[in-house]
Amino acid sequence: MRILLAEDDPLLGDGLRAGLRQLGFQVDWVRDGGAAERELRAQPYAATVLDLGLPLKDGMAVLAAIRQAGLTLPVLVLTARDAVPDRIRGLDVGADDYVVKPVDLNELAARLRALVRRSHGQPQECLTAQDVVLDPAARSVVQAGLSVPLSAREFDLLHALMLNAGRVLSREQLAQHLYSWGQEVESNAVEVHVHHLRRKLGSALIQTVRGVGYVLTRELPRP
């Protein structure tokens, strides 16, 4: 799951990036409000962690601008401002969650997963498609009651496809989900990971739409 972290404090930003990476997120880190807005408009992030006291452009202004632009991604506001009016204003302007510093990394990750899940209309914690159950928190995949070991990239790819079950995702979109900045993306990386997933989970789960991309079907196609 690729998220954007907007935090101007070098130590905190570094810690959050490292911590969220440990917990399976792909993290892009920007240090000011202008960059945050630019990146959010440019890239399909699953969610963003937004500090309010950002330089150049205040986090609240970034939030208002991206909502104005029609971006619906989940926004988790992470801030030192804990006054109730601040929280209310943050939520009213379009934040999906409001977390006051300092925050436990595991809690932050859980909140992000919940936000992403709900943004895809998924009330349960685990995603289900056909006989495959994906647990984003445990980062585990179970097929027909048996655990299936997946690499981190394979898991992320499956996660993205399951979140967008029934929708066709292009190779570029999937690559954007998988890799954060500075990571080398090989031209056929997505194909390779899809190939591995099919080998591990069977070919019925992920369909290829030629010339467009891939789609995951939630129900088995009727025979």
- Binding footprint of other proteins on the chain (CB under 8 A): 8-12, 14-16, 18-19, 22-23, 31-32, 55-56, 80-82, 100-106
CA 178 – CA 153 distance, rounded (Å) = 7
| Shortest Å distance, C-beta 57 to other proteins | 10
* Conformational region of residue 201, where left means phi above 0, alpha means psi within -120 to 50, and beta covers everything else: alpha
| Shortest Å distance, C-beta 46 to other proteins | 20
Nearer to other proteins, 10 or 166 (CB): 10
| Shortest Å distance, C-beta 14 to other proteins | 6
The helix (H) or strand (E) run that includes residue 173 is helix 171-178
Nearer to other proteins, 17 or 193 (CB): 17
| Shortest Å distance, C-beta 102 to other proteins | 3
CA 70 – CA 164 distance, rounded (Å) = 19
Nearer to other proteins, 12 or 168 (CB): 12
Nearer to other proteins, 80 or 220 (CB): 80
Q: Would you list the DSSP string of 13-61?
A: HHHHHHHHHHTT-EEEEE-SHHHHHHHHHHS--SEEEEESS-SSS-HHH
